[in-house]
């Protein structure tokens, strides 16, 4: 699978409490790049920028690079679609990316025609409606193991539950 790699930055300032800036970095991710992107967003010394790395763990070459970066890891193992599946059902046994996408497509008719990174309005509504159950299911999994996802951490931060 192609690497899913996003550097998301949450900027908190007096004027704008939360702003998310996404950069698709893919395999180019390095500690220097993360630091550069973080500094680019600071307008003043008082700005707080929280940096998040959202990556699929099914690309081994990236995993070592990610360990060297200073950021909150929102890693999905084997891939992002585990987060989507957790909105519909629990998944506690290891699964490959290909099988996971097949499982997603058959778990609910709304995912039948799923295309990576493209969501219909119906799919978005389903995700919004089932976010709380997906967060609960994700928390039951062990970080970095297959299956797991750290995406719930960002959801909690945005809701104001942490950080």
Q: Who's near 118: CB < 8 A, 6+ residues apart?
A: none
What is the count of structural domains for the chain?
2
Task: Tell me the pLDDT band of 6, cut-offs 50, 70 and 90.
Answer: low
Q: What CA–CA distances, in Å, run from 33 to 36, 70, 145?
A: 5, 11, 26
pLDDT at 43: 80
Last residue of a domain, one of 34, 52, 73: 73
Burial class (CB in 10 A: 0-12, 13-18, 19+), 16: exposed
Mean local confidence (pLDDT), 43-60: 87
User: Among 15-24, 60-69, 101-110, which is the least confidently predicted range?
Assistant: 15-24
Chosen domain end from 23, 38, 73: 73
Question: Does residue 90 sit in the same domain as residue 162?
Answer: yes
Question: Does one domain contain both 2 and 63?
Answer: yes
pLDDT, averaged across the chain: 87
* 46 and 95 within one domain: no
How large is the average pLDDT for residues 10-35? 75
pLDDT tens, 60-103? 888 989 999 999 999 999 999 999 999 999 999 999 999 999 99
Q: Residue 39: which domain range?
A: 1-73
Per-residue pLDDT band for 21 (boundaries 50, 70, 90) equals confident
């Amino acid at each position: 699978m192609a690497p899913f790699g996003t550097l998301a930055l949450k900027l908190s300032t007096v004027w704008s409490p939360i702003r998310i800036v996404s950069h698709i970095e893919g395999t180019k991710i390095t500690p220097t790049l993360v630091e550069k992107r973080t500094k680019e967003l600071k307008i003043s010394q008082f700005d707080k920028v929280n940096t998040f790395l959202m990556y699929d763990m099914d690309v081994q070459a990236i995993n070592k690079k990610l360990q060297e970066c200073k950021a909150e890891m929102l890693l999905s193992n084997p891939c992002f679609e585990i987060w989507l599946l957790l909105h519909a059902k629990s998944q506690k046994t290891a699964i490959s990316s290909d099988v996971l996408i097949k499982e997603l497509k058959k778990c609910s008719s709304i995912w039948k025609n799923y295309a990576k990174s493209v969501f219909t309005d119906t799919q978005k509504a389903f995700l919004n409606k089932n976010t709380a159950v997906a967060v609960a299911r994700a928390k039951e999994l062990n970080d970095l193991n297959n299956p797991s996802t750290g995406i719930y951490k960002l959801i909690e931060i945005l809701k104001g539950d942490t950080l």
